[in-house]
Amino acid sequence: MTQFRKPTGLIGKFLAKGMAWGHRDFYKNTAKMLNLKHDDKYLEIGFGSGLFIKKYASHVSRIAGLDYSEDMVKLASNINKNIVRSGKAEFIHGDISSLPWQNDKFSIVVCIETFFFWSEPLVALKEIYRVLIPGGRLVIEMAYNKDDGLDHTKHIEKMKLNLYSANEMKEILKEAGFKSIVIDYYKGVRIPFKGYVVPRGMVVKATKKTD
């Protein structure tokens, strides 16, 4: 189960690609919320295989990614090798609690299926807030959440997840400084290769203050 949190080695690479296939509906719903423009400067936290970036974000002006797994950095860099070679994209190994970028750097930060793994979410959100430009957006997607009506006891124990309700997300985002917080839900899906059911996925959007 640690492979879900930090994919490593050959198994981790196969798992990351498999998750990207299994997460394709999550990706579509996140992409709709993002509505990425050509002039966006994009940062993804926990990019895994990097396939979301390849399919939905390769057209933006600047791409950066941070992942907890060094093997995912290599995999994503290879999958997106053309934009990496062009100098438009960089994939870095690191920890969300200390982002290696200057203040006011990105117009959009994205977290897909990673937020519930973070051990210090408030610290991480403050770091994201710091690197966003004023008016910049944060989008967080979570297939599992407290509002979906399922008992996630097994997943919480096995995968060490921290699940959140809409109200809890609003509170922690406000504490980190964000405003204009919008919580949306998407229709559930089934992940065939794991037998998982996602009845009500959550997508959270928040904005950095402009004043």
Q: What is the pTM of this model?
A: 0.84
pLDDT confidence of residue 1: 44
Q: Which residues share a beta bridge with 137?
A: 108, 207
List the one residue out of 129, 164, 170, 172 whose CA is nearest residue 147: 164
Across the range 151-176, mean pLDDT stands at 87
Banded model confidence at residue 196, pLDDT cuts 50, 70, 90: low
Q: Is 60 exceeded by the pLDDT of residue 169?
A: yes
Q: What architecture is the 2-207 domain classified under in CATH?
A: 3-Layer(aba) Sandwich (3.40)
Banded model confidence at residue 205, pLDDT cuts 50, 70, 90: very high
pLDDT confidence of residue 188: 63
pLDDT confidence of residue 128: 98
Q: What are the C-alpha distances in Å from 171 to residues 96, 125, 178, 182, 203?
A: 20, 12, 10, 12, 15
C-alpha torsion angle, residues 57, 60, 61, 66 (rounded to 10): -20
Show the CA angle centred on residue 77, arms to residues 113 and 53, nearest 5°.
45
pLDDT confidence of residue 18: 46
What is the DSSP secondary structure assignment for residue 206, as one 8-state letter?
E
Q: If you average pLDDT over every residue of the chain, what do you get?
A: 85
What SS3 class is residue 112? strand
Show the CA angle centred on residue 4, arms to residues 204 and 6, nearest 5°.
100
pLDDT confidence of residue 15: 47
What is the DSSP secondary structure assignment for residue 88, as one 8-state letter?
S
- Distance, in Å, from the CA atom of 146 to the CA atom of 128, rounded to the nearest integer, reads 23
